[in-house]
Structure 1
């Protein structure tokens, strides 16, 4: 195969790798020799048909052209020139308007890491997605998720549009394992393009690490000559699977030709008769739309979860593009389509109202309903957890939802899979509610979002429908929100902290502790007892030795309590605890600090270690304020001395969690050449 060419403005600033052969390890470098470390090399026979790919990366934007040269038409040269004037069958570009400054700037829509996935047999475009990795927070996880779910053997093109290295973060190690030489060494201003086979070989990799120069590379390569899977004696479902996979990218094990997901999905283990009785006639509603890559993952995990009953699983679609419909057919999952209109949160607000209406009309006699979204992964213990807690919705009118998502379950605060809490919290990702609550919500839920302040449907339910009722949630989560959606850009640090830093339990059949103690009367009694028996913490909550000193003085006492000043403020016409008075306090302990959610009547409960539970009591807001001994000083962030507030404001206990680490600040072409050549 002819080695491609690389065109660029400043050749001594460009690092370029080309493979003379698609799958054999003969790697030459434009500037120096290097060997690519590759894992799981993917090999198959080569056809005489070939394609050419041109990729472009610059501060102005990106571009990729792909065209095919067919031996059947007499084209024997494997290059773009060999195709004559035949237009490309894929051409996609995005550029900023002229006059844009050539300095690193705040990302704009369309900028970031461009991912293109092609069918290795016919070079058909299967997936095109841009990840805004000019942003440091959160999007690295979504980018990593998609890369992991690309099937081995696919032809992949990555190229940077304007800026897209700052947010790569953890993914650089994964890209290096896939064969990239340069990914871990890219600077903040680098432009980079990499063409490779997932699980196979690099076709071409080129980068400019300084001076904001643009790069443009050209490669020609043969196509795979193996026939499409699903032909011959395959079953109809297998034929449908591989026809689907021939047109879709990032579909994980469903489209993995080496280790495909069995269809139908094998039935998971039973949870036993008691759990089956508790879950009988409980519909599981999965809301979904056009993000079929997420839906595939969520559904295949759900269908493998002990306790699932396919007859009770229903997908309710808003958007219903063909890839989503075909996926549901492959997985044999029932669905219905509801009309949707509007954009963004306005669209979601009316969509979820329509979902609730549909459920109320079609499952009127259900004891409860479980709701999930298309980008929520459940724990193997999900249905076991639900089977042990659903009865509380009927038994205790002060409880309106059972959440599988943990409001407080950050990794460093999750130790007890059997432990449950109750508190003021909205329905979260994977929840159960009663039909009575659904009907109550519909009675005040506007058909349109115009004229109301709250248009996030879950926060609307919390603010206007819950009426001081609470939800049950586990210390260790039974669900995990992994996807990027409509509201991702609102606060990326919060998205990363609230979603990605949560634990998802991987066991199943966990026996929950003292579920009956979650009824309001018992919960109050237990809280009063534990708080009154707890060792009082006094001092600055951001001091690194506050907790350890108290534990040392009490021989590792398992119960601690901290009292702080807490008043109320008005929000949407409702009195709520003043976030400005507890924000710093909860941040000091590494807990959720942006709202009262997760607290019970002004009391936060945190597991600081396997044997240490901390109760945080807000005085005078909390009805448990009377438990504060008279001798205990009340900590008030608004009145502490300046030297104490500096400690709180710096919050060195958790500062590292919110620090931006910019990689390769001192990297130059010369240093990179030296590093990679071992000099």
Structure 2
């Protein structure tokens, strides 16, 4: 038995009294955490160039007054010097580790530092591009929610960086921030706090107008800031009873935002427990699971622990393939006792990724030579509790039907509005997406065609290359509700697309779900069913699906409906982009069609069941879907076909007089009006960031102080 003690240095922070004492707004009682109160508010002239320095050490500290009523706290400390200034300059000096971090407002985005509360070591240094209105808030929420309780967290943002905070504002309020609801466009904000505890410091600065930040002290007279006190906490030491525990806490001394791995109060179990089987466990026998990974060990830990806790998971079949992986990744995999290997890859960005995935495919063939299928999963993907159950019910189609080349766990339906529920699957022309299964025959076929780089290619990502160059006319099976979420931000992240392809799309968060129509996905059965409905469908006017009353019209229909739109070739999406928005289907590419036709289901019942909102991250903008019931039979839905003519092979079923939706016949004003009906405009996104501003903030404080 190995026994060890981890050094714990309690930090003591003194409350600095300011000029005026104001009453805490009743709407923000929790900002300092349990058992603490807000002690002072101030309107400070020259706040932009006034600094507060906190030094955390074992035995105490001292303060002295400087001219002009400015407090400076001074203490030499061997481990950490932290300076937080209202001009959004953060300086962290780690003398023990012989390097310095400086994050300044010159770097766009929200800056995040996570510091170990006992060793004063910086665990996380990360910048979130929240000047973008889309997606980065999700990554920010993910990282902050996975910081262990007790860690010191420092954030700052300036200029345009408050624009994209969005749902992260709610999380920050829950963690104790006071000013975050009032951050208008181009205001500056800084916050230092203990995760799960108290605020140490928070400041907001505005410029000459409510939504403008001007770096001139004469305009800072109405800036406000707050400071609080952190009392010393003596918590029980983490349990260290064996070599695994010792390795865990040593790892956590150096790495932050690791979720339950480094939670000292309720740590994740190590070694990882075995997952329970699913009903068709035999269908998963011998199926390899390859996880691709690199230098993002925080993402990787969440992906692996979620995967291995999923019913049906078999740890001995999981194989991690590393590209450029630092020691932090390999140490983590050894801690988890998982099989892994590294491959040497050359190139940059997408060329490097293209070469890397070629090596991954070759390793899959070598590692699982007799596997009936191999599942590939990226390092920043969270799977549903139903992931392996879904695979066990669909993998057989890869061998039974040569017109199917992959099983996708990702759904191409944007939301629940035009599907029938998690117990249904579809087939369509789609690319592999973040978590998928293919056969060894397909892998070998791809390897024979795979070039060694992307030079000279018109395609820069391996997954689209597989779709465009290898699959031919084959299709994939995918669920109507996603069994995975791609939550991470990487080389190819486009914020708008990431928001709607990943964060906005529901992820099934429910026990294994029996599929009702998997047997209908084989080509012969699917074609019979698809054509039977299309032949009996009633055509409707071309713009009908864009009418807000169309869902009610579809609900009252006695049979299938069909809409025709203009499509001249496979990748012609000029009209489908607009029609897809109206239909509530996947509008941003030619994918998700079956032979040039798309299918939507409109409910015939008035009050669809409301899902249970049981996942804590749903409060912060994520979309974990937990149904109260699995849904209705297909008889409770009206089928609506959307057929692209003349490209679709079903064009011959179009009546000669049937109208065709064609954007080439629309004016630019008509297109703009149409698009604004079905999409978020920048003005809508700005609504929640400009309603509150510094004028409103100061007004509320003044009213509460009288």
Alignment of 1:360-375 (within 5 A): 360-375=365-380
> Separation in 2 of the partners of 1:219 and 1:53?
16
Q: Deviations over 1:414-440 (max 9, x none)?
A: 441111111111011210001111111
85, 90, 98: which is aligned to 1:63?
Answer: 90
Task: Identify which of 20, 24, 27 aligns with 2:38.
Answer: 27
Task: Give the drift of 1:25.
Answer: 1.0
Deviations 1:17-49 (A, max 9, x none): 9x999985142223289xxxxxxxxxxx99426
Counterpart-to-counterpart distance in 2, 1:558 and 1:512: 24
Which residue number corresponds to residue 82 of structure 2? 53
Give the match's secondary structure for 1:29.
coil
Aligned to 1:616: 642
Q: Distance in 1 between matches of 2:82 and 2:377?
A: 41
**Correspondence for 2:101 among 92, 111, 125:** 92
Correspondence for 1:107? none
Moved more, 666-675 or 519-528: 666-675
* Residues 607, 254 of structure 1: alpha-carbon distance in 2 compared, 3 angstrom cutoff: farther
CA distance in structure 1 between the aligned counterparts of 2:365 and 2:484, rounded to whole angstroms: 24
Q: 1:638 aligns to what SS in structure 2? A: helix
What aligned pairs does 1:492-531 form with structure 2 within 5 A after superposition? 492-531=495-534
CA 1:409–1:465 in structure 2 vs 1: closer, same or farther (change >3 Å)? same
Alpha-carbon distance between aligned partners in 1 of 2:519 and 2:386, rounded to the nearest angstrom: 19
Tell me if the contact between 1:313 and 1:334 (Cα under 8 Å) persists in the aligned partners.
yes
Q: Which residue of 1 aligns with 2:187?
A: 190
Q: Residue 632 of structure 1 corresponds to which residue in structure 2?
A: 658
Helix, strand or coil at the partner of 1:27: coil
Tell whether the 8 Å contact from 2:31 to 2:178 is kept in structure 1 after alignment: no
Hey, what does 1:102 align to over in structure 2? none
Report the secondary structure of 2:382's partner residue.
Answer: strand
The residue that corresponds to 2:261 in the other structure is 254
Which of 665, 681, 685 is matched with 1:660 structurally? 685
Cα pair distance change 1:549/1:652, threshold 3 Å = farther
Q: Distance in 2 between matches of 1:460 and 1:62?
A: 44
- Output aligned runs, 1:528-547, within 5 Å: 528-541=531-544, 543-545=546-548, 547=550
How do residues 70-469 of structure 1 correspond to structure 2 at under 5 angstroms?
91-95=100-104, 110-211=107-208, 212-213=213-214, 229-231=238-240, 234-272=241-279, 275-469=280-474
Equivalents in 2 of 1:371, 1:455: separation in Å? 19
Distance in 2 (alpha carbons) for counterparts of 1:556 and 1:496: 34
How far does the alpha carbon of each residue in 1:433-488 deviate from its partner, in whole angstroms, 9 at most, with x for none?
Answer: 01111111111111122221112000011111011111111111111111111111
Instruction: Specify which of 590, 600, 624 is matched with residue 596 of structure 1.
Output: 590
CA shift in 2, pair 1:312/1:130, >3 Å = same
Distance 1:370 1:656 in 2: 35
Contact 2:32 2:197 in 1 (8 A): no
Distance 1:146 1:339 in 2: 29
Q: Distance in 1 between matches of 2:105 and 2:191?
A: 22
* Deviation string, structure 1 residues 484-524 (Cα, Å, up to 9, x no partner): 11111xx3212211111211112232221232221222221
Partner of 2:15: 3
Instruction: Confirm or deny: 8 A CA contact 2:31 2:177 kept in the other structure.
Output: no
- Report the Cα distance in structure 2 between the residues aligned to 1:247 and 1:557, rounded to whole angstroms: 64
Q: TM-score, normalised by structure 1?
A: 0.83
In structure 1, C-alpha distance between the alignment counterparts of 2:659 and 2:356, rounded to whole Å: 50
**Residues 126 and 248 in structure 1, CA contact (< 8 A), matched pair in contact too:** yes
Q: How many residues align?
A: 610
- What secondary structure, in the 3-state scheme, does the structure 2 residue paired with 1:315 have? strand
* Superposed CA offset, 1:311-345 (max 9, x none): 10111111221111121122221111111222211
Residues 242 and 230 of structure 1: CA distance in aligned 2, closer, same or farther (over 3 Å): farther
- Structure 2: gaps of 5 or more residues: 1-12, 20-24, 45-55, 62-79, 604-631
Shift of 1:205: 0.5
- CA-CA distance at 1:55 after TM superposition: 2.0
Structure 1, unaligned runs of 5 or more? 8-14, 34-44, 68-85, 98-109, 569-575
Instruction: Please give the TM-score of this superposition, normalised by the length of structure 2.
Output: 0.80
